[in-house]
Amino acid sequence: MSEEKEIPINKYSIFELKASLDKEITNYFLEEDFEESNHYSNMKIFFGLLTCFCTGVAYLFPLPFPQNYYIILFSVIGYVIFSTIYWYLEKYVIDSIFFVGKNEDYFDHLRPKKQNKIKEMIAHSEIDSKNNKKKHIYKLWFELIFDDNKKIKTDMFDINCTEIYDDRGYIHRDKILKVLRNFIKATFPKI
């Protein structure tokens, strides 16, 4: 993995806070040799391409309007269907997911004497700024899928964003990794 120059963020923007924390946590799991799964983003790309295809057919079909009425009609119907599926995936399926991956060795040493192996880990996050406008809370939780397709959702863990960013908007990576490791060590042995 190549080293990127760290760029400060606007720590008052909840979108930049969430994106940078998601990126740091994703980088941690990738450094721990997790194999990332992109099936959710691949589904979004597929339905986005189908939506674009319907638009392209409607605009670029070479016949004039009265003759291409049914082409335009089916293109509009296809566009509505595929864009609705895309919206549903984004809003209800993917929602707060930012990382999906697996590394059986990582979980084995954290979960001694457990029967079922964790097949996949799904990381979720969101920023809560409703309680206090000056303090943003980053909420992190995991959904674990076992070999027998049983799903377990971990407890939600809160990270105070003001503690891991300095005044200039730079993230303190060592602080976030320390908090993340402590959360993982405290949570996974119980599962």
Q: State the Cα–Cα distance between residues 178 and 128, nearest whole angstrom.
A: 21
Cβ proximity of 142 and 122 under 8 Å: yes
Averaged pLDDT for residues 118-140: 79
In the predicted model, is pLDDT for residue 117 greater than 60? yes
Averaged pLDDT for residues 110-129: 78
Averaged pLDDT for residues 153-168: 81
In the predicted model, is pLDDT for residue 189 greater than 70? no
In the predicted model, is pLDDT for residue 191 greater than 60? yes
pLDDT on residue 87: 94
pLDDT in tens, 65-105: 788 888 889 999 999 999 999 999 998 888 888 989 888 77
Helix, strand, coil distribution of the chain in percent, nearest 5: 50, 20, 30
pLDDT on residue 50: 95
Averaged pLDDT for residues 171-187: 83
Residue 109: name the closest of 100, 121, 118, 101 by CA: 118
In the predicted model, is pLDDT for residue 115 greater than 50? yes
pLDDT on residue 83: 95
Q: State the Cα–Cα distance between residues 166 and 164, nearest whole angstrom.
A: 7
Q: Which residue has the higher pLDDT, 89 or 170?
A: 89
Element (H, E) at 31: helix 14-31
Averaged pLDDT for residues 110-122: 75
Averaged pLDDT for residues 128-134: 65
